Amino acid sequence: MANNQKSNRTKSEYRPSTMPGFLVSCYLILMFSAFPLFLTNQYAHARTDKYYFYLILSGLMIVSVVVTSLMDYFEEKRFRKPDSRFLPMSAADVSFLCFYGFAAISTLLSDYPLNSFLGDFQGGGRNNGLLLMTFYLLVYLVITRRYVFKDYVIGIYLVFSSLVAFLAIVNYFFIDILSVYAGYLDLWKLFDGTPGKTNVIIDFGSTIGNKNLISAFMCMFLPIAVMSFVLIDKRWMRILSGVAIGFAYCGLLCADSASGMLGLFVILPIMAIFASRRYTTLKWYLLALTILFASSKLLRLFSLIMGDRSKGFEFMQESLIYGSAAYILIVVFGILFILMQVFEKKISPHYPQKAVTITLTVLTVGAVLAAIGAVVYFSFIAPTAELNENAAGLLRFDENWGTHRGYYWIKGVEQYQRFNFLHKLFGNGPDSVYVVMEPLFSEIAARFDEGTTDCVHNEFLNYFITQGALGLLAYLSLLGTVAVRALRRAKNNPMILIFLSAVICYAVQSVVNLYQPITTSLFFIFLSLTEALNRQTPLSSRKKA
C-alpha cells in the first residue's frame, strides 16, 4: 500500500523538462543577433560566412534538442505513457515533407547531383542546395514541436535588426562604420566627385549583403516591428517596437530595391486587415503608421545634415523621403489615432469589426486586382500605349521590365520548356539555374553588364525551374497551409499574426527577388514559428490545433 502511494506521488510530481524549449530560444536569440552581423572578410564572403554559421548553429541546436527530448521521453516513459502531441502531422508538415522529397528526387535526377546537393555550380549557385534544405526541414520540425513564445526573444530580434538597419542607413550616406568596404573587390563603384578620395561600392550596405538582400531582411523586420507594436500590450515592448518601426522603414527605403517597395505596399493593407479585428489593435496600428511615415522625414533631415550626399534613390523611395505626401499621411493617421484614443469608451462598444474588416479586405483585393489588370492591359492589350518612363517600368511587362527581371523570367521559362518530362516534373536540380541559363551567357553579356547569372530573380520561378512543377506546387502548398491555419487560429492567439506578417511580406517581395542562405534561412525560421503557434493554438474551445 505504501509503495502504491509513493508511486502515485511520483507520477503526480513528474514534470517534463523545459530544456528543449530553452535551447530553441537560445538558438533563436543567436540567429536574431549574431547571425545578421557575422562577417569574416567584409562582404567578400558574406554569403558563405552566414551559410556555415547557419549550418553549424542549426546542427548544434538540432542535436541538443533531439538528445534532451529523448532523455525527457525515456524519463517520462518510466512513470506514464509519453505525451504524443508532438507526433501528429499537420497539412503544413506534409507539404514541407513533399517539398523536400521532390527536391531530393530532383537532386538524384540532376546531371550534377553533387552540385545540386551543395548548391554550387562551377562558381554559380547560392548554396541553396539539398543540404541547406535538409537543415530548413529539420529546423522546422524542431521549432514547430518545441518552441515556446517569449517576448524577450522578439525584443532581442528588434534590437539587433534595428542595428542592422542603422548600419544600412549610414552606409547609404557613405559612413562605413565597420569598414566593411575595405579590401572588397572593386566591382560596382561610384566616384563621389572629390579629387583624391577613394571610390566606394554602391550596391552593398550593412552586414547583410547587396540591396536585394537588405530589402528582403527589412521586409521581415518591418512587419514584425509593426505587429509587435500593435499586439504586445507591454509598455517596454511598445516603446521598443515603435523605435524599431522607424529603423525598419528607413532601412527599407535605403535598401533602394523594387522588391522592398512591392512587399511594403502589399503588407501595409494586409496588416490593416489583421489589426481591424479589434478596436484597440486598429488604434495602435494607426499610431504605428504615423511613426512609420514620420521616420521618413527624420531620414530626410539626416540627408539634409549630410548635404544630401547619398548613393541616390529610385523614384519611389525618393518620393517617400523627399516628397510632401508623407506629411499628409502623418497628419491623417495621427489625427485618426487621437480621435480613437479620446473617444474609445464611446466608440469601442459599438465598433463594427466585421464591416471594417470586410471593407479593408475588399479594398485591398480590389487594389491588387487593379494593379494586375493594369499590367495585363499595358503589356498585352495596349502594348504601344504611351506611358512615361516610370509608369512603363512598372506596368509594361517585357524583357526590359524590372531591371532585366522580365528578360530572366521569360528566358528561364523558355529554358524550362526544353526539359524532358521528368525534369519538368522535378526540375533540373536544386539551385541549378546557373547551368540552365549557361547557354545564354554570351547573350546576357552582350545585353547587360553581367556576364552570368545563377538566378532568375523570382523565387517561385527558381523553384519551378530547379525543382519542377511538383516542387513549386509543394512550396505553394506549404505557404498556403501555414497561412490558412494561422488565420483560422489568430482569433484565439493574435501573436500568430506577428510571424505570419513576416512570412507574407517576404513571400511577396520574393516574386522579384532571390533565395540564398542569408535571408531565406530567416524566412524559414519565421515560417516555422508561425506553424509552431498554429500547433499550440486551438481552433475553438472544443477543437485543438
pLDDT at residue 453, rounded to an integer? 86
Mean pLDDT over 199-221 rounds to 81
pLDDT at residue 16, rounded to an integer? 57
- Is residue 181 scored above 70 in pLDDT? no
Calculate ∠ Cα 499-261-254, nearest 5°: 95
Other C-beta atoms closer than 10 Å to the C-beta of 483 total: 18
Cβ neighbours of residue 406 closer than 8 Å, sequence gap 6 or more: 397, 398, 399, 400
pLDDT at residue 392, rounded to an integer? 78
Name the pLDDT band for 98 (thresholds 50, 70, 90): very high
Percent of all residues in the chain with a pLDDT value above 90, rounded to a whole number:
68
Taking only the tens place, the pLDDT of each residue in 281-299 is 999 999 999 999 999 999 9
Taking only the tens place, the pLDDT of each residue in 475-494 is 999 999 999 999 999 999 99
pLDDT at residue 300, rounded to an integer? 94
Taking only the tens place, the pLDDT of each residue in 430-451 is 999 999 999 998 898 888 876 7
Name the pLDDT band for 267 (thresholds 50, 70, 90): very high
pLDDT at residue 330, rounded to an integer? 96
pLDDT at residue 57, rounded to an integer? 98
Phi, psi of 190 (to 5 degrees): -140, 120
CB 467 within 8 A of CB 425: no
Calculate ∠ Cα 189-190-196, nearest 5°: 105
Phi, psi of 35 (to 5 degrees): -55, -50
- Which stretches does DSSP call E strand in 149-224? 189-190, 200-201, 204-205, 209-210
pLDDT at residue 110, rounded to an integer? 94
Average pLDDT, the chain: 88
Taking only the tens place, the pLDDT of each residue in 30-41 is 999 999 999 887
pLDDT at residue 528, rounded to an integer? 98
- Is residue 421 scored above 70 in pLDDT? yes
- Chain position carrying cell 480590389: 366
pLDDT at residue 326, rounded to an integer? 92
Highest mean pLDDT among 11-20, 196-205, 210-219: 210-219
Name the pLDDT band for 393 (thresholds 50, 70, 90): confident
**Between residues 81 and 471, the one the model is more confident about:** 471
State how far the Cα of 32 lies from the Cα of 12, in Å rounded to an integer. 38
pLDDT at residue 327, rounded to an integer? 95
Record the cell numbers describing residue 522, joined without a space: 530567416
CA pseudo-torsion sign 71, 57, 481, 149 = positive
- Is residue 507 scored above 70 in pLDDT? yes
pLDDT at residue 436, rounded to an integer? 93
pLDDT at residue 403, rounded to an integer? 76
**Between residues 384 and 504, the one the model is more confident about:** 504
**Between residues 315 and 280, the one the model is more confident about:** 280
pLDDT at residue 8, rounded to an integer? 47
pLDDT at residue 199, rounded to an integer? 46
Taking only the tens place, the pLDDT of each residue in 47-86 is 889 999 999 999 999 999 999 988 877 766 655 555 555 6
- Is residue 7 scored above 70 in pLDDT? no
Phi, psi of 173 (to 5 degrees): -105, 30
Name the pLDDT band for 396 (thresholds 50, 70, 90): confident
- Is residue 176 scored above 60 in pLDDT? yes
Other C-beta atoms closer than 10 Å to the C-beta of 17 total: 14
